[in-house]
């Protein structure tokens, strides 16, 4: 069977969906299928072209299966214009390749909404090729929650209409939560049998907590064994709400045993550093900006609790991929998310931490005080429960076979207007 994968991120990029796209391609190839991947030249998460790469219109790599790198613009800043240019650039080059490549039996699309996924889907529709469309965020709702566009605007209505048409053109939608299933069933009107809930997953072996390195990191910042070290790891962007965590420490001036590490980079890093200086928190709130992958296990291992902030209703329209790494690290999680979000549902189901309202520094400060007063054995137990849950539900072994099964079913000849048949049960 011939399988074409269109993925907006792909190794050597380390983001979760880059890894899942690779594992889907690798597993199909391992099973004897002919696999081709269309992906941009690697630049995420920093927007800088990876060493060893030079952009051209197309370039083919051999990973056992073929990876065709397609030209796109680099997004060095997390602005709407920069992201849009990156999106459209890859949309054009990848969709042209979809039009003229050897005809596959199935196309799996994990590209940026709305243009990246839309143009590739349109090219597939023109050729009558069935599409399985992976949806990681609900657009344009996600843009609205980031205050980039208004839900009352004409642009919002146009983008939602486009997203609906793209969803209806796919033979199957792969969504990462029940809430997304509801959005595409009731708001977009996609038949329920075409929608499959399959959560993202992480590689348990890639989250190796480095105890010795973690101890050294705590010593570097003067964190004693009796202090609480709260850690945020990952992108510091417009949708993360890291500033709220910093604001919370203004209410913890009398709790010197609670400290925080903000590890990562992003468009709001400089603003966060300025806020720490403005609040006079330099001796309590620290920054770690190294991007070395080996540092991940050190940073996660140093934490007594891992912090997962979101803004507004953002938690309803996306699920932070870092949650999987957090849980696989065996550390408890304090999430600032709405109670009916998928993030809250996962943490609650695992009994792996605490949920507080987003954007509320007072609640965050109160929660950190509670955590500081919690016996260490109870914190470790919560982290262990999160790890057990992740190993059962959020790993390659749990979810990759379901995706492969779905793609192979969709590739079978059948009516163009249905996915698995109206009576078929969705996978997941």
Q: Poorest-confidence range of 94-98, 312-316, 363-367, 368-372? A: 312-316
pLDDT for 318 equals 81
Between residues 190 and 311, the one the model is more confident about: 190
For 402-416, write each residue's pLDDT tens digit: 999 999 999 987 544
pLDDT for 42 equals 96
Dist CA 242 CA 59 (whole Å): 38
Q: Is a pLDDT exceeding 80 seen at residue 15? A: yes
Residues with Cβ within 8 Å of 398's Cβ and at least 6 positions away in sequence, in order, are 201, 391, 392
pLDDT for 59 equals 97
Residues above pLDDT 90, as percent of the chain: 75
pLDDT for 323 equals 94
Q: What mean pLDDT do residues 55-60 have?
A: 96
Q: What mean pLDDT do residues 311-334 have?
A: 90
For 74-92, write each residue's pLDDT tens digit: 988 767 788 899 999 999 9
Number of neighbours of residue 122 by Cβ within 10 angstroms: 17
Q: Is a pLDDT exceeding 60 seen at residue 268? A: yes
Q: Cβ(342)–Cβ(362) under 8 Å?
A: no
pLDDT for 291 equals 65
Closest CA to 272 of 300, 240, 301: 240
Number of neighbours of residue 309 by Cβ within 10 angstroms: 24
Dist CA 345 CA 355 (whole Å): 10
pLDDT for 321 equals 85
Q: Is a pLDDT exceeding 70 seen at residue 417? A: no
For 19-37, write each residue's pLDDT tens digit: 999 999 999 999 999 999 9
| Side-chain half-sphere exposure of 391, counting CA atoms within 13 A | 11
Number of neighbours of residue 174 by Cβ within 10 angstroms: 26
Q: Cβ(192)–Cβ(426) under 8 Å?
A: yes
pLDDT bin (cut points 50, 70, 90) of residue 117 is very high
Residues with Cβ within 8 Å of 345's Cβ and at least 6 positions away in sequence, in order, are 177, 178
Q: Is a pLDDT exceeding 70 seen at residue 178? A: yes
Q: What mean pLDDT do residues 310-332 have?
A: 89
For 214-252, write each residue's pLDDT tens digit: 999 999 999 998 999 999 998 888 778 899 999 999 999
Residue 132: strand pairing partners: 108, 172
Between residues 405 and 207, the one the model is more confident about: 405
Q: Cβ(350)–Cβ(324) under 8 Å?
A: no
pLDDT for 426 equals 65
Dist CA 245 CA 254 (whole Å): 16
Dist CA 201 CA 389 (whole Å): 12
Q: Cβ(365)–Cβ(253) under 8 Å?
A: no
pLDDT for 151 equals 87
Tokens of 378: 């109870």
pLDDT for 87 equals 94
pLDDT bin (cut points 50, 70, 90) of residue 345 is very high
* 3-state SS, residue 3: strand
Q: What letter would DSSP give residue 424?
A: P
pLDDT for 150 equals 87
pLDDT bin (cut points 50, 70, 90) of residue 427 is low
Structural domains of the chain in order of their starting residue, each with its CATH number: 2-203+395-410 (3.40.50.2000), 205-393 (3.40.50.2000)
pLDDT bin (cut points 50, 70, 90) of residue 422 is very low
Q: What is the mean pLDDT of the chain?
A: 91
Q: Is a pLDDT exceeding 50 seen at residue 209? A: yes
Q: Poorest-confidence range of 41-45, 64-68, 270-274? A: 41-45
Q: What mean pLDDT do residues 274-291 have?
A: 92
Beta strand 58-63 with 65-70 is antiparallel
């Amino acid at each position: 069977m011939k399988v074409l994968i269109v993925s907006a991120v792909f190794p050597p990029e380390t983001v979760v969906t880059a890894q899942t796209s690779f594992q889907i391609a690798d597993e199909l190839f391992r099973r004897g299928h002919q696999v081709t991947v269309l992906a941009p030249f690697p630049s995420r998460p920093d927007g800088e072209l990876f060493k060893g790469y030079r952009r051209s219109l197309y370039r083919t790599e051999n990973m056992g299966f073929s990876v065709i790198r397609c030209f796109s613009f680099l997004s060095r800043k997390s602005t709407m214009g920069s992201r849009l240019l990156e999106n459209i650039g890859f949309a054009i080059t990848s969709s042209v390749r979809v039009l003229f490549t050897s005809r596959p039996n199935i196309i799996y699309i994990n590209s940026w909404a709305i243009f990246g996924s839309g143009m590739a889907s349109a090219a597939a529709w023109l050729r009558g090729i069935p599409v399985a469309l992976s949806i990681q965020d609900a657009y344009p709702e996600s843009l609205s929650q980031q205050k980039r566009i208004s839900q009352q605007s004409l642009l919002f209505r146009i983008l939602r209409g486009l997203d609906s048409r793209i969803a209806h053109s796919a033979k199957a939608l792969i969504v990462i939560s029940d809430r997304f299933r509801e959005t595409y069933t009731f708001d977009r009107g996609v038949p329920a049998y075409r929608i499959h809930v399959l959560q993202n997953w992480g590689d348990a072996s890639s989250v190796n907590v480095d105890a010795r390195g973690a101890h050294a990191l705590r010593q570097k910042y003067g964190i004693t064994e009796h202090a609480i070290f709260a850690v945020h790891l990952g992108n510091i962007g417009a949708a993360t709400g890291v500033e709220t965590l910093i604001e919370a420490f203004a209410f913890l001036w009398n709790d010197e045993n609670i400290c925080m590490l903000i590890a990562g980079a992003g468009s709001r890093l400089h603003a966060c550093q300025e806020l720490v200086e403005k609040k006079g928190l330099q001796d309590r709130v620290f920054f770690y900006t190294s991007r070395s992958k080996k540092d991940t296990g050190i940073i996660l291992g140093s934490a007594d609790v891992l912090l997962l902030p979101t803004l507004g209703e953002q938690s309803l329209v996306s699920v932070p991929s870092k949650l999987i790494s957090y849980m696989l690290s065996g550390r408890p999680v304090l999430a600032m998310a709405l109670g009916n979000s998928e993030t809250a549902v996962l943490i609650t189901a695992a009994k792996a931490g605490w949920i507080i309202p987003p954007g509320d520094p007072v609640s965050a400060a109160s929660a950190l005080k509670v955590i500081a007063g919690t016996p260490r054995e109870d914190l470790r137990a919560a982290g262990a429960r999160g790890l057990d849950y992740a190993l059962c539900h959020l790993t390659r072994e749990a979810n990759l076979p379901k995706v492969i099964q779905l793609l192979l079913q969709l590739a079978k000849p059948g009516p163009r207007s249905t996915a698995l048949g109206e009576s078929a049960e969705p996978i997941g």
